[in-house]
Homo-oligomer: A and B are copies of this chain.
Amino acid sequence: MADDVLFELLHTEVVNQIIAPNSTGEQLDNGLSKLEALGFRVGQSMVERITKDTPRFKDELDTMKFVCKEFWMSLYKKQIDNLRTNHQGVFVLQDNRFRLLTQISNNKQFTELAPKYLAFPCGLIRGALANLGVLAVVTAEVSIMPACKFQIQIHRL
């Protein structure tokens, strides 16, 4: 419990250090990219540790289920609440109570702050998938905090 807090506090401080308050335009975009890249590297290392005894996944859906269950559990101590796909390479993962947003707000207020707290988690997913052989673009969308949807668009070579 307390240790969750340590991660969350470090994440918040890193966000504040990388993205100055009231940043806009290019400055904001650069900050978001840096956070995403940080998440990517952490996601890669994380998935390496938790898959070392896991058998090979049979397809993309199987990989995605792993991300929704084991991977999410290891990061946030809960599973993804809802997984949808159009069966054409787009997956939507919904977390009804996303941990890095619960610290900010439990309602619509401050929704405009959400993007800077979602860059790192998007990177985590992209890094995990990359290490599992799936190249993708990951974006996040918030309608009512602290619920959050992560959209994964698989990049086919």
Contact = CB atoms under 8 A, between A and B. Distances in A.
Interface of A: 2-7, 9-11, 13-14, 17, 34, 38, 41-42, 45-46, 49-50, 73-75, 77
A38 B10 CA distance: 8
- State the copy count for this chain: 2
A119 to B, nearest CB: 13
A4 B2 CA distance: 10
Nearest to A38: B13
Output the residue of A11, A14, A46, A75 with the most chain B CB within 10 A: A14
B13 A41 contact: yes
A126 B7 CA distance: 18
Contacts of A42: 6, 9-10, 13
